[in-house]
Amino acid sequence: MALGLILCALVNVLLGFSNSFYAYVGFVIALGVFQGMGVGPSFITLANWYPKKERGIYTAVWNISHNIGGGIVAPIVSLSGFALAALLGVSMADFNETYWHMNHFYVPAACAVIISLYVLYAVKGSPKNEGLIDITEINEMRGIKTEEIKAVETPNLSSFEIFYRYVLKNKNAWYVAWMDTFVYMVRFGLISWLPIYLLETKGFNKEQMGIAFWLFEWAAIPSTLLAGYISDKIFKGYRMPPAIGAMVIIFFMIIGYFTSNNLYMVIFFAAMAGCLVYIPQFLASVQTMEVVPAFAVGSCVGLRGFMSYVVGASLGTKAIGWAVDYYGSWNAGLIMLLSACILCILCSTLCHFSAKKKYQ
């Protein structure tokens, strides 16, 4: 995780010196790869440190970090620009023309290095390594089956053997992977086509479209925290009931979003869809930690990530765009999004019954 952050910082610095288009593309690809290095370790840490019935809220806090991080980029860039301009003794106009790469690339890189040092200091492998009670004993005291607890001891297997035995051959891992695939299809379908659809079909201006898009993204933070709390406290550690409920509501929000011509109702439908679509995405992350032993969480995250970003995102972007062009109507996109909602609900239901069978 810390290495990934340091490499991200290095690439960010190199981006500030890049003048070649192909070099820029290469650096952006590398940045995406290095950013992904933190996902697996994060899930393993959460699985090792938090009991099943408390993972929801703690994982929710972790899950909104990318929303918060994305939201504070602009203030950091702006404020550091003013500070650096004053330090260099130049006007903001001169700074933005000559030194703009400093606050856009170097300052975020410095922030990443500082956080990576904190990660090295604060993030620990497991409670047992620190002389504390093991998480499996806590789970046992809270009613998790003994046979499930014993399975979390790390076996003497290679990474491929762990992936093959505990992930590829695990139907529950595939349920979660396909569930998240259809969630990403809906999410990327809305994110990718929301601006174009609002501008071309609904007659929104760019300011109105920006408001709808802003609400779509930022509504995710409170809904994610609430979903984590509900799954822990009301559903006693079962993650899929809130996910199923969210997808049912999203189904009707998408219909309203496509069929309404009222400005405020369209904004409402877009905000509600954005508020809710991150709930099943987040709960799929938590479920991933609970369908495999702790030592196989990283491998399971890899499968889910591949299915989500490669299959789901492609279906939500390229496939929907192709369908709209081929049939000459946005109704084709509507049908694909609604179908994805139904399939996601089906996979979530299978996940839920598998979890009940496992833990009861």
How does DSSP assign 81-139, residue by residue? HHHHHHHHT--HHHHHHHSHHIIIIIHHHHHHHHHHHHHHHH--S-TGGGTSPPHHHHH
Note the pLDDT of residue 143: 61
Residues 295 and 343 in one domain: yes
Residues 11 and 120 in one domain: yes
Asked, for residue 238, whether it belongs to a domain, the answer is yes
Residues 122 and 162 in one domain: no
| 8 Å CB contact between 250 and 341 | yes
Total number of domains constituting the chain:
2
Asked, for residue 150, whether it belongs to a domain, the answer is no
Asked, for residue 255, whether it belongs to a domain, the answer is yes
Note the pLDDT of residue 347: 94
**Residue after which a domain boundary falls, among 143, 168, 191:** 143
Residues 87 and 189 in one domain: no
What residues have CB less than 8 Å from 315, skipping those under 6 apart? Answer: 181, 185, 189, 336, 340
Asked, for residue 148, whether it belongs to a domain, the answer is no
pTM, 2 dp: 0.76
Note the pLDDT of residue 216: 63
Report how far residue 225's alpha carbon sits from residue 61's, in angstroms, rounded to the nearest whole number.
Answer: 7
Residues 304 and 162 in one domain: yes
Note the pLDDT of residue 150: 45
Residues 166 and 128 in one domain: no
Residues 137 and 56 in one domain: yes
Residues 10 and 94 in one domain: yes
The pair of three-digit structure tokens given for residue 127, joined into one six-digit string: 């409670």
Residues 330 and 222 in one domain: yes
Note the pLDDT of residue 146: 42
pLDDT by position in tens, the chain (length 360)? 889 899 999 998 898 887 888 888 888 888 878 887 887 788 788 878 887 777 888 888 888 887 778 778 878 888 888 898 888 888 888 888 888 888 888 999 999 999 999 998 888 877 877 777 777 776 666 665 544 444 445 557 778 888 888 899 999 999 999 999 999 999 888 877 877 777 777 676 666 666 666 666 676 788 888 888 888 888 888 889 999 999 999 999 999 988 887 878 887 887 788 788 889 988 998 888 888 887 888 888 889 988 988 899 889 988 999 998 999 888 898 899 999 999 999 999 999 998 777 766
Residues 134 and 170 in one domain: no
**Residue after which a domain boundary falls, among 90, 119, 143:** 143
Residues 136 and 161 in one domain: no
Note the pLDDT of residue 197: 74
The pair of three-digit structure tokens given for residue 248, joined into one six-digit string: 């049912």
Q: State how far the alpha carbon of 24 is from the alpha carbons of 14, 28, 34, in Å.
A: 9, 6, 15
Note the pLDDT of residue 213: 62
Domain that holds residue 84: 2-143
Note the pLDDT of residue 148: 46
Residues 93 and 231 in one domain: no
Note the pLDDT of residue 110: 92
Note the pLDDT of residue 212: 62
